Amino acid sequence: MQIAVCVKQVPEITNVRVNPETGTLIREGVASILNPFCEYALDHAVRLKNGDPGIEVVAVSMGPPQAESALLRCLELGADRAVLVSDRQFAGADTWATALTLAAVLRKEVPGYDLVLAGKQAIDGDTAQVGPEIAEILGLPQVMYAVEMSFTPNRKRIRVKREVESGHEVLEARLPALVSASKGDAMRRMPSLADVLAARRKELRKITAADLDLSESELGLAGSYTQVVKVFPPEPKSGGRKLEGLDPAQAAHEIAAFLRAERYV
């Protein structure tokens, strides 16, 4: 069996700062990491592989050349091989163009996939759209927000425990299928030295748009249905009173007075 895991390299956004004058992101000094939800997806794939060493786990990413480091981490964490598709023509791709490109990569590089995994969303864009769009393009059923998964004994279905608004539910989907991972029991692990060394012997293949069965008009900005027309800083929120140096009783008194004045008690 083959499991493809679609991953994205993202900026560590908790550290992102915005230039107040230009409203643009200050990218200097911002580290790039493997999107945490993609890492959970990879962890699910590795757990499935632990139950069946015959499974091949392939990590796939679309991104700039430096996204190689995110794929290297996937190899360290247990992926068998990785594919990076990188091309200047991909610039400006919206979720549709990204999904179309990744679907083409999967068809070409992992044609025997039984399961496609993705993170539930990337922490920079937060759209949660690329996974379902890949599933629709490839004609796969999908299950979102997975926290646990296993194959059914006959290997025809994947059984997924997933987050829903009222708690959890267990769903089965026919294979091949796409499953997106939430946090759940999956872990972000530190690879061991042996893992790091093993990763260097694994294949990290780099391909470009020319390797894909897509026309130029389907790539990047040209192939995108949405376009960003303006970027601006969010309106600063103004706070009210900040009280410092009170003892706990005084602080409690101030809060109680506020709640009373606003008629919450």
Partner 1 sequence: MLKIIHNVCNLCGLCQKSCPFGAISAGAEKITVDERCTLCGACVSVCPQSALSIERRQASPEELARSVGVFVWAECEAKEGRLVPRRVVHELLTHGRRLADRLGQPLLAVVLGDGRLAGLERLCHQGADRVICCRHELLGRYSTDGFTTALSAVVAKEKPSVLLFGATPNGRDLAPRVAARLRLGLTADCTGLAIDDQGQLVQTRPAFGGNIMASIVTPYTRPQCATVRPNVFSAAEPDTRRPVAIQDFPVNLSKAAIRTRVVEELPAAEFGEKIEEARILVSAGRGCGEPSNLDLVRRLAHRLGGSLAGSRAIVELGWIPHTLQVGQSGTTVGPDLYVAVGISGAVQHIVGMSSSKKIVAINKDPDAPIFKIADIGVVGDAQAILPKLLDQLKSQ
Q: Which stretch binds partner 1 (CB under 8 A): 38-46, 65-73, 94-102, 206-214?
A: 94-102
Pairing relation of β-strands 142-151 and 113-119? unpaired
Q: Which of 112, 206, 215, 255 binds partner 1 (CB under 8 A)?
A: 255
User: Which residue, among 119, 121, 151, has the nearest Cα to 40 in the 3D structure?
Assistant: 119
Within 129-148, the residues that bind partner 1 by CB under 8 A are: 129-133, 135-137, 139, 141-145
Is there binding between residue 159 and partner 1 (CB under 8 A)?
yes
User: Which residue, among 193, 178, 196, 93, has the nearest Cα to 141 in the 3D structure?
Assistant: 178
Distance CA(50)–CA(78), nearest Å, equals: 10
Is there binding between residue 258 and partner 1 (CB under 8 A)?
yes
Is there binding between residue 29 and partner 1 (CB under 8 A)?
no
Residue appearing with tokens 């267990």: 170
> Which CB sits closer to partner 1, 206 or 260?
260
Q: Are 26 and 88 in contact (CB under 8 A)?
A: no
Give me the least distance between CB of 257 and partner 1, in Å please: 9
Distance CA(258)–CA(243), nearest Å, equals: 12
Q: Which helix (H) or strand (E) holds 143?
A: strand 142-151
Question: Cα 122–56–198 angle (5° rounding)?
Answer: 85
Give me the least distance between CB of 209 and partner 1, in Å please: 20
Within 96-125, the residues that bind partner 1 by CB under 8 A are: 96, 99, 120-121, 123-125
Question: x/- contact string, 161-200, with partner 1 (CB under 8 A)?
Answer: x-xxxxxxxxxxxx--x----xx-----------------
Is there binding between residue 52 and partner 1 (CB under 8 A)?
no
Q: Which helix (H) or strand (E) holds 257?
A: helix 248-261
> Which CB sits closer to partner 1, 36 or 191?
36
Give me the least distance between CB of 215 and partner 1, in Å please: 13
